[in-house]
Amino acid sequence: MAIKILIANPDLSLATKIADFLNNLGYEVDTSISGKDAQMMMYNQKYFAIILDLSVKDHPGHQVLKFVRQAHPSVKVILTMPDEKTMGESGLEKNILQKQGVCDFFVGEPSLKDLQNAIEGHRDYRELIKDKDHETRDGVSAETEMSFDDEGFIQIAIDEFISVKAVQFDVFVKLSTGKYIKILHAGDTFSIDRIEKYKNEKKVQYLYFLKEDRSKFIRMQNYITEKVLDSKSVTLKTKVNLVKGLSEIYVDALFEEGLKPLVIEQGKTLCNNVYEIVHQKTDIRKMLKYFSNFSTSLNTHCYLVTFFSCMIVKQFEWDSKTTHEILGMAAILHDIGCTKLTEDIREMSPLKMNEEQLKRYKEHCEVGVAILDLCPSIPLMVKQLVLQHHERINGEGFPNGLKYERILELAQVLGLADEFVRHMVDNQISPPEALKKVLFDPNCFKKYNGLILERFLKVFTNPN
Ligand SMILES: [Fe+2]
Ligand SMILES: [Fe+2]
């Protein structure tokens, strides 16, 4: 049975255009220009999602939204509106749309691709796996050789690739520049044999998938990670690697695609997964062994800072899931302002920068907050942490040279994790060695609050 989608939009030609596009993707689509009729259709049919325009006729869009939330809470709602004014007139506010069950919203005519992402990105993988008619075929398609632009691909280590039963996107092996073999097709039954063949017989180290499938990858990996975190048969190393691979590709998506509601939602799931992994009843010291051979890229940096910030905060009595969600989000986003720096500055250590370069670099906290300000669903606390992550209690930090208690405690945790990760990656040393570097800095106790340093040390000596 095909998946059903309802489009409620007063602009019939736009509704038809979207419907044709979704029909071609295999969805069954109904359209309505009237809010009243849309409600009636929802009463009679079971829809997976509704693409609801706020300016729909007969019945106000915000009332239809209220009806959907109350009568059909499991239906995904994607909201569109011709302009910002319509939103104001409806009495709805952007920053509470998610609370009202809206997965995504678009001002102006949405691109068809964005709509597809909104629908598929929010689809529950459990449903995709069950939905055999639509998404899966039995067996595996033949391997096909193809030419592609290398820029369009994302690489993942073959050891870190795990799939759900039905492969959610095309998977490739690279032959040479621009030449790939599609070894698994979207919809195929996942074939571990085929992956093993490339790994063991052909010594392939990496698999590739298309950038346009990144959202599906993140969704799938988040789902798999949630599933395996509790499993005793999956090794800790695999779990740590899963979260690492996922985080890095997630940060790439964040930096390249910007702060779309879908991307933010995926970030929350990712932070939850990091929370779960640091709260596993395993020996944390054992886990730290898997932290080696880091890439110096910004996405690896963001992942490591997220992981170690969460580790530190776990040692506090007031540690909670909500704190982790705020801190995790801030840690993933803390250097988003660096994406606006020129490449030469972005890749240079601040110790080697000249005065002008350092001035530019130091702007990244405020630039980061300006980027986050464009996204109403980012909590204020996350923005404050991003702003303060380079402040130090002796006042030598930036951008505002704040001192002592004027710096949020979580911002100090983030700042400490940031410096620690820098030592670890710049010098390619293990976590305990990086710890020594931080603690042996004569200014260490002047820069950081003693209690935070003590809890940081606890991560390595007597972790909770
Ligand atoms: Fe920074
Ligand atoms: Fe940083």
In a domain? residue 128: no
Classify 448 as helix, strand or coil.
coil
**Does the bond joining 261 to the residue before it have cis omega, within 30 degrees of 0?**
no
User: Looking at the CA of 368, which ligand is closest?
Assistant: 1
Q: How far is the CA of 280 from the centre of ligand 2 (A)?
A: 26
pLDDT of residue 282: 65
Shared domain check, 243 and 205: no
Shared domain check, 108 and 154: no
Whether pLDDT at 213 is above 60: yes
In a domain? residue 341: yes
pLDDT of residue 129: 40
More confident residue, 127 or 203: 203
In a domain? residue 223: no
The two structure tokens encoding residue 116: 């597809």
Q: How far is the CA of 365 from the centre of ligand 2 (A)?
A: 10
Shared domain check, 63 and 170: no
The average pLDDT across 6-25 equals 92
In a domain? residue 221: no
Shared domain check, 338 and 293: yes
Shared domain check, 360 and 311: yes
Q: How confident is the model at residue 365 (pLDDT cuts 50, 70, 90)?
A: very high
Break the chain down into helix, strand, coil percent, rounded to 5: 55, 15, 30
Apex 444 CA angle, 443 and 445, nearest 5: 95
Shared domain check, 197 and 115: no
Q: At what angle do helices 35-44 and 61-71 cross, to 10 degrees?
A: 10
Q: How confident is the model at residue 128 (pLDDT cuts 50, 70, 90)?
A: very low
Q: How far is the CA of 58 from the centre of ligand 1 (A)?
A: 51
User: Looking at the CA of 397, which ligand is closest?
Assistant: 1
Select from 189, 213, 237 the last residue of a domain.
Answer: 213
Q: How far is the CA of 365 from the centre of ligand 1 (A)?
A: 7
Of 131-135, 150-154, 221-225, the one with minimum mean pLDDT is 131-135
Instruction: Count other Cβ atoms within 10 Å, centred on residue 243.
Output: 24
Instruction: Count other Cβ atoms within 10 Å, centred on residue 373.
Output: 10
Instruction: Count other Cβ atoms within 10 Å, centred on residue 459.
Output: 22
407: domain CATH number is 1.10.3210.10
**Does the bond joining 399 to the residue before it have cis omega, within 30 degrees of 0?**
yes
Q: How far is the CA of 233 from the centre of ligand 1 (A)?
A: 38
Domain count, the chain: 3
Whether pLDDT at 123 is above 60: no
Whether pLDDT at 140 is above 80: no
Write the CB contacts of 392 (distance below 8 Å, at least 6 apart in sequence): 407, 415, 446, 447, 448
User: Looking at the CA of 421, which ligand is closest?
Assistant: 2
The average pLDDT across 248-258 equals 83
Select from 123, 150, 172 the last residue of a domain.
Answer: 123
pLDDT of residue 5: 93
The type of residue at 209 is F
User: Looking at the CA of 298, which ligand is closest?
Assistant: 2
The average pLDDT across 282-303 equals 76
Q: How far is the CA of 294 from the centre of ligand 2 (A)?
A: 15
Distances (CA, A) of 276 to 227, 314, 355: 11, 11, 42
Q: How far is the CA of 368 from the centre of ligand 2 (A)?
A: 11
Whether pLDDT at 360 is above 90: yes
The average pLDDT across 342-360 equals 91
Q: How far is the CA of 181 from the centre of ligand 1 (A)?
A: 39
pLDDT of residue 121: 60
The average pLDDT across 332-348 equals 91
Shared domain check, 111 and 149: no
Whether pLDDT at 421 is above 80: yes
In a domain? residue 222: no
pLDDT of residue 132: 40
User: Looking at the CA of 303, which ligand is closest?
Assistant: 2
pLDDT of residue 95: 66
Q: What does the pLDDT look like over 106-122, one tens digit per residue?
A: 888 888 888 887 786 64
Shared domain check, 233 and 362: yes
More confident residue, 179 or 287: 179
Q: What does the pLDDT look like over 366-418, one tens digit per residue?
A: 999 999 888 777 889 999 999 999 999 999 999 999 999 899 999 999 999 99
pLDDT of residue 320: 87
Shared domain check, 239 and 193: no
Shared domain check, 278 and 415: yes
More confident residue, 200 or 385: 385
Q: How far is the CA of 73 from the centre of ligand 1 (A)?
A: 40
pLDDT of residue 53: 95
Q: What does the pLDDT look like over 303-321, one tens digit per residue?
A: 899 999 999 998 998 888 8
User: Measured between alpha carbons, how far is 14 from 440 in angstroms, rounded to an integer?
Assistant: 64
Nearest to 131 by CA among 208, 204, 32, 27: 27
Q: How confident is the model at residue 169 (pLDDT cuts 50, 70, 90)?
A: confident
Select from 89, 123, 157 the last residue of a domain.
Answer: 123
Quick check: 447 and 396 in contact, CB under 8 A? yes
Q: How far is the CA of 111 from the centre of ligand 2 (A)?
A: 34
pLDDT of residue 281: 63
Most confident of the following: 40-44, 265-269, 270-274, 287-291: 40-44
The average pLDDT across 285-309 equals 81
Q: What is the mean pLDDT of the chain?
A: 85
User: Measured between alpha carbons, how far is 97 from 106 in angstroms, rounded to an integer?
Assistant: 12
Q: How far is the CA of 284 from the centre of ligand 1 (A)?
A: 26
Q: How far is the CA of 282 from the centre of ligand 2 (A)?
A: 28
Of 8-12, 121-125, 126-130, 416-420, the one with minimum mean pLDDT is 126-130
Quick check: 266 and 218 in contact, CB under 8 A? yes
Q: How far is the CA of 347 from the centre of ligand 1 (A)?
A: 12
Write the CB contacts of 202 (distance below 8 Å, at least 6 apart in sequence): 173
User: Looking at the CA of 332, which ligand is closest?
Assistant: 2
In a domain? residue 249: yes
- Domain range enclosing 37: 4-123
In a domain? residue 265: yes
Q: How far is the CA of 1 from the centre of ligand 2 (A)?
A: 48
Q: How far is the CA of 446 from the centre of ligand 1 (A)?
A: 19
Q: How far is the CA of 345 from the centre of ligand 2 (A)?
A: 13
User: Looking at the CA of 364, which ligand is closest?
Assistant: 1
Q: How far is the CA of 304 from the centre of ligand 2 (A)?
A: 10
HSE toward the beta carbon, residue 342, CA cutoff 13 A: 8
Quick check: 391 and 415 in contact, CB under 8 A? yes
Shared domain check, 175 and 117: no
Quick check: 169 and 186 in contact, CB under 8 A? yes
The two structure tokens encoding residue 344: 């030469």
User: Measured between alpha carbons, how far is 1 from 131 in angstroms, rounded to an integer?
Assistant: 8
Percent of the chain with pLDDT over 90: 37
More confident residue, 250 or 99: 250
Q: How far is the CA of 417 from the centre of ligand 2 (A)?
A: 9
Shared domain check, 379 and 307: yes
8: domain CATH number is 3.40.50.2300
In a domain? residue 220: no
pTM higher than the cut 0.85: no
Q: How far is the CA of 45 from the centre of ligand 2 (A)?
A: 50
Buried residues in 278-311 as b, exposed as e (16+ CB within 10 A)? beeeeebeebbeebeebeeebbbbbbbbbbbbbb
Q: How far is the CA of 389 from the centre of ligand 2 (A)?
A: 8
